[in-house]
Each structure stands twice: as structure tokens, then as C-alpha cells.
């Protein structure tokens, strides 16, 4: 598996059709939204910061639950987003 940073994850999610907005409340979070109704709230971290395993697991679970991508599909998107 490639090194997964928040910047790489952002590019992969956008490539899967997600949009991103910043919450107005504190603490600030990015909320990724998909036409399927999927929502992924993630804390704001520097783009070069490695993704925490719990955040990656939440992304994988949400993508699978909404039929957007399998974990293998996400892994391929992450490789391409490098």
C-alpha cells in the first residue's frame, strides 16, 4: 500500500465524485459529500500528514456501505492520486 496522506485521500475522494466543505463550527472539519447521500466528516489535518487508521477505516466503510467503491477500488484510487 502507498503512503496515504490526507492530501492523497482528498484527491482520491474527489476522483470518486465527492465534494468538500468546511464546517462553520469548532473544531473545524472537512465534510465530504457524495450524490449517493454519503457523508464523511474528517478533521482538518495538513495535506502531508499520514491518515490515521481509524479515518481510513471510516472512509472504506462508508464507500462500501454506499456502493461507491470497495477497499480495493479505493487503494487503486489512492495509488493514482499520488
| Reported pTM | 0.91
How is 10-69 classified by DSSP, letter by letter?
HHHHHHTT-EEEE-SSSSPEEEEE-TTS-EEEEE---TTSBPPHHHHHHHHHHHHHTTS-
Within 13 Å of residue 71, how many CA atoms lie on the same side as its CB? 6
Domain spans of the chain? 6-80
Out of 3.30.920.30, 2.130.10.10, 3.90.1170.50, 3.10.50.40, which CATH number does the structure's domain 6-80 have? 3.30.920.30
Task: Profile the chain (82 residues) by mean pLDDT over runs of 10 residues.
Answer: 86 96 92 96 95 95 95 92 83
Within 13 Å of residue 77, how many CA atoms lie on the same side as its CB? 22
Whether the Cβ atoms of residue 12 and residue 81 lie closer than 8 Å to each other: yes
Amino acid at each position: 500500500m502507498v503512503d496515504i496522506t490526507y492530501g492523497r485521500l482528498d484527491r482520491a475522494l474527489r476522483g470518486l465524485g465527492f465534494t468538500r466543505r468546511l464546517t462553520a463550527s469548532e473544531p473545524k472539519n472537512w465534510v465530504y459529500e457524495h450524490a449517493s447521500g454519503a457523508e464523511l466528516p474528517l478533521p482538518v489535518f495538513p495535506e502531508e500528514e499520514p491518515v490515521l487508521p481509524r479515518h481510513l477505516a471510516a472512509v472504506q466503510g462508508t464507500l462500501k456501505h454506499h456502493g461507491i467503491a470497495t477497499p480495493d477500488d479505493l487503494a487503486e484510487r489512492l495509488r493514482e492520486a499520488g
